[in-house]
Amino acid sequence: MSYFKGSHKLWSFFLLAFFLVPLANSKTYVLPHVFEQKGRISNTLHAYDAQILITYTGLLDSGGKVDVYLYDQMTGLPVVSATDDDVCNPCSESVGRAGSRKSISVEAEMLAKGGFPVSQNGGTGTLSESDVHAIAVIEVSGDTDRIVVSSEQLYANTGPMDLSIRESPTYRAKAGKTGATKRVFVLPHVLESSGKVSVQDLSFTTRVHAVLASGLRESPTRQSAKIDLYLYENTGMPMRTDEGVDVCNPCSQDLTESNRTYSVEGYDLKKAKGTSSAARTSGFGIIVVSGDCDDVYLDYYVVNSHTSPFDLAVFGFNPVEVVVNSAVVGADVAMPSLAKWFSGSPNPTSSGMNFSLGLAKAANVNLDVFSTDGRKITQVFSGNLQSGAHVLRWNGVDGNGKPLAPGIYFAKLSSAQGLSVSRIVVAR
């Protein structure tokens, strides 16, 4: 009996030690897209508010400290107010047992430092207060393993209590360089409609932001990277305009320390290549980052206008990084399309599906199913197919014969001549 009592005390000691013993290290986080407009959501219609949330889960009074630095998303210079004062360079908060949760409001910090800067509208010549598009670098010190940093974007729709809230992605900055020269990300859901959400109700669009965060807290490093964005329909074929022009195959931009951001909207990309179809388009995207890719961070989300262009819902998604050379696309993302058509049916599926495809000429092909993080789930087919139409059956299980968990997966049809990718959904 005394043994169990002693064990109970010992476990209590270890549990107490876990909460009380701080870890002496520091961590750095990056928020790739902080968006702020003048006007609090509590009293202003159609206003955006950005908040950085800090939560301490330990029991120490000392806790730790969080320093937030805001930099202009394009130039990398500190964000300044109307009086040319740095807004957050840094903004600091301490957390501990006496105050386990704190928040930093970008608007409150801007107003405290002199207000939003004023710019001239090029079309009307009128003056208006500028919106803030920033990169946030967050440095955490003290008991860092028990300090959680997150961010949220709030939007006031038809009233101060009618809110749309999106959690913005917060990335842990890499402690050192991996030496990678290419990284591949999947955007699992891209949704577009014929109207622009800022002018038309009942519309959808997808927005993508990629930022280069190198050299913000250190001396300039002269790093650069390249973004290649590929957009596909659910069938795995490139997303196209009504005129049959590929929308992004790829859309590309170089990122440098003087031009740090690639910020695009799907509607604008389609419109630039031709007329936008009245039909709603659903698909997925692939982003290939090359060059100094360790310091590139991504954010993407879908915006839906409801009863008016100002009644919005914002759906945040996390770009999923996949392993180059073993992923859905990997190093061969830029290969030409293999099939004239390639899709699975029924989609979504609960038990399996038939993959329908058409080949222009005979080829030795592989048909594999991958998870969104690049893990190969199973091989459906491997062998030679003649030109023409084919149907390949997949029974909905992995390589061990177990049914797949509900979620999004990708089917990859590949050969030496090219590849085609199709998104599939498993629903139980």
Over residues 343-390, the pLDDT tens digits come to 888 888 888 999 999 998 999 999 999 887 778 899 999 999 999 999
Sheet holding 339-345, edge to edge: 339-345, 353-359, 388-394
- Contact call for residues 422 and 410 (beta carbons, < 8 A): yes
d(CA 2, CA 5): 5
- Establish whether domains 19-173 and 335-426 are of one fold: yes
CATH entry 2.60.40 includes domain 19-173:
yes
3-class SS of residue 315: strand
Select the more confidently predicted residue: 215 or 113.
Answer: 113
- The two tokens of residue 94 are 């301490």
**Apex CA 20: angle with CA 18 and CA 25, to 5°?**
85
pTM of the model: 0.72
Mean pLDDT for the stretch of residues 52-76: 86
Mean pLDDT for the stretch of residues 301-325: 75
Reference 210, options 298, 292, 132, 293; nearest CA is: 298
Select the more confidently predicted residue: 328 or 34.
Answer: 34
User: At the top level of CATH, which class does the domain 335-426 belong to?
Assistant: mainly beta
**Apex CA 296: angle with CA 75 and CA 172, to 5°?**
110
- Indicate the pLDDT class of residue 18, thresholds 50, 70 and 90: very low
Select the more confidently predicted residue: 77 or 312.
Answer: 77
Mean pLDDT for the stretch of residues 65-74: 91
Q: What do you get for the CA distance between the two ends of the chain, in Å?
A: 49
pLDDT score, position 305: 79
- Contact call for residues 366 and 379 (beta carbons, < 8 A): yes
pLDDT at residue 204 tops 90: no
pLDDT score, position 121: 63
Domain ranges of the chain: 19-173, 176-326, 335-426
pLDDT at residue 326 tops 70: no
pLDDT score, position 379: 94
Reference 18, options 147, 145, 140; nearest CA is: 145
Tally Cβ neighbours within 10 Å of residue 47.
Answer: 18
pLDDT score, position 7: 45
